[in-house]
Amino acid sequence: MFSLSEEGVAFVKRELNRYEDRRSAVIPALYRVQKENKGWVSPESVTYLSHLMDIPSAWIEEVLTFYTMFNKRPVGKYHVQVCCNISCSMNGGREMADHLCSTLKLKEDEVSGDGRYTISRVECLGACDKAPMMQVNDDYHEGLTNDKAVEILRGLK
């Protein structure tokens, strides 16, 4: 059964107090859950949040399914989000995503056998001037080539 850490619970309660409408706290709460739940939001954590925040789970699920930055399925230890929007695509972003998948031998959005990686394609991450780019967990890596990207991923602890 999923539950947030003590600090996590305190965080959600603080967020709830910040807004007039309890619904407004859903996004920060989901982020917190994702962080404490190995990078994804499970169905049972939605139920948990609905009790904690005292709002219907449908309202949480609506937000969760709307935003792509919440993962609805388990991800690897390193969630690699490769930008495939215009600037990055023009500079080889799509090919880079394919290259990473074939080098690491996994399919998009799946967890690699060793549990280390998940590769996803995403839309513009706002670093167009340094295209192509990828985001690994919370860090941006910009101005990449295929080899550089592989090197970075291999080098992760």
- Residues near ligand FES, by CB under 6 A: 83, 85-88, 124-128, 131, 133
The answer to the question of residue 113 lying near other proteins (CB under 8 A) is no
Residue 43 touching other proteins (CB under 8 A):
yes
The answer to whether 128 touches 87, Cβ cutoff 8 Å, is yes
Q: Which two tokens stand for residue 113?
A: 């056998």
Q: Is 123 in the site for other proteins (CB under 8 A)?
A: no
Among 3, 57, 87, 112, binds other proteins (CB under 8 A): 57
Stretch that binds other proteins, among 4-12, 31-39, 56-64, 136-144 (CB under 8 A): 56-64
Q: Does 115 bind other proteins (CB under 8 A)?
A: no
Place of tokens 């919440």: 70
Longest dimension (CA), the chain: 49
- Closest of 70, 95, 72 to residue 82, by C-alpha: 95
Comparing C-alpha atoms, which of 29, 37, 98 is closest to residue 59? 29
Q: Which helix (H) or strand (E) holds 121?
A: strand 117-122
Position 56 contacts other proteins (CB under 8 A): yes
Q: Among 2-10, 59-67, 77-85, 96-104, which window interacts with other proteins (CB under 8 A)?
A: 59-67
List interacting residues with other proteins (CB under 8 A). 43, 46, 56-59, 61-62, 65-68
